[in-house]
Amino acid sequence: MFYEGSEKRLEITSSLNLLEFDSSFWQEMVKQAGAYIISQVENDQLKAFLLSESSLFVWKNRLLLITCGETHLLQASLYFQKHVQRQQITSLLFQRHQAHYPEKQKSSFQQDSLQLQKELKGDSHHWSEDYCGDIFLFGNNQQNYATKNILMLHDLRGAFFQQLQHGKVEAKDVASQLQLAKHFNDFNIDQHSFEPKGYSLNAIDAQRYFTLHITPEKQSSYISFESNLSETEVAEFHENLLSLFKPQRAYLMTFKPSENSLGINTQKML
């Protein structure tokens, strides 16, 4: 059975205090996308929800919802827009990485962006080179994005990947292979191994976060690791992932505030 690992991402900043929203609101929002909440960790600055399809992070004035599989992330965005006033949304970023089988998705990026344009007059951007993807952006490019970097690894290899591919591996054993304790000892980590296979984690420390998702799908194996940590803080862990999973393709996407451009750059790592 095929599973689409490539993500869709929604980031919204708001004048509201999102930490005051009840958990039932977030449950319903992710339900609109076709996912559900598995578990949650939080501190006084950040809530992190581990989902059946990826992750949701909520700060005081910002949310980041990431979904994969055949989820319909646009519906989650429309749900949020319906329950707040238009002027309470200060920016919105809607992103889709290129799906392996786009025809299996509930909608295309073009359909999604047309829906978003009805309420928010934003701009769309398309990558069509080695990395393929699309972004709809409403608001000020000079804002600080929730995410600073996303590492994307495709077509995985190696002994540990073979182990993951043949069935469920306990979360503690995946964490040991990833050397999480060595690289991120200060973080509160929430992790889950899926049946029949697959692994996700969220990790938080004050306002800092990272999330990692492994799709050991034979047809399109994939890992994503994203965070709001600096490139210096994650560089060693990035090298660890590249060494452990030996991907045939790898990309690093970085997000930086910019006056005159999208402020998002993608580079090949291999």
pLDDT at 218: 82
Element housing 11 (H / E): strand 8-14
Query: Taking Cα atoms as reference points, which of 110, 125, 145, 203 lies closest to residue 10?
Result: 145
C-alpha 119/C-alpha 1 separation (Å) is: 37
Q: 8-268: what CATH class?
A: alpha beta
Q: What is the DSSP string of 97-165?
A: EPPSSGGGSSS-HHHHHHHHHTT---EEEEEESSSEEEEEEES-TTSPPS-SEEEEEES--SHHHHHHH
Query: Taking Cα atoms as reference points, which of 19, 10, 5, 7 lies closest to residue 204?
Result: 19
pLDDT at 104: 86
CB atoms within 10 A of CB 179: 14
C-alpha 68/C-alpha 96 separation (Å) is: 10
Which one-letter DSSP state was computed for residue 173?
H
Residue 61 makes CB contacts below 8 A (sequence gap 6+) with 13, 14, 15, 16, 17, 18, 90
Helix 109-117 to helix 73-83 angle (10° resolution) is: 10
Handedness of CA 54, 134, 215, 176 (dihedral sign): negative
Find the DSSP H helices in the chain: 23-33, 73-83, 109-117, 159-165, 171-178, 180-183, 231-245
pLDDT at 220: 86
pLDDT at 1: 62
* DSSP helix/strand/coil, 208: strand
AA identity, residue 236:
E
Q: List per-residue pLDDT tens for the chain, 270 residues long.
A: 678 889 999 999 999 999 999 999 999 999 999 999 999 999 999 999 999 999 999 999 999 999 999 999 999 999 999 999 999 999 999 999 988 878 889 999 999 999 999 989 899 999 887 889 999 999 876 778 999 999 999 999 999 999 999 889 999 999 999 999 999 999 999 999 999 999 999 999 999 999 999 999 888 899 999 999 999 999 999 999 999 999 999 999 999 988 777 889 999 998
C-alpha 131/C-alpha 11 separation (Å) is: 21
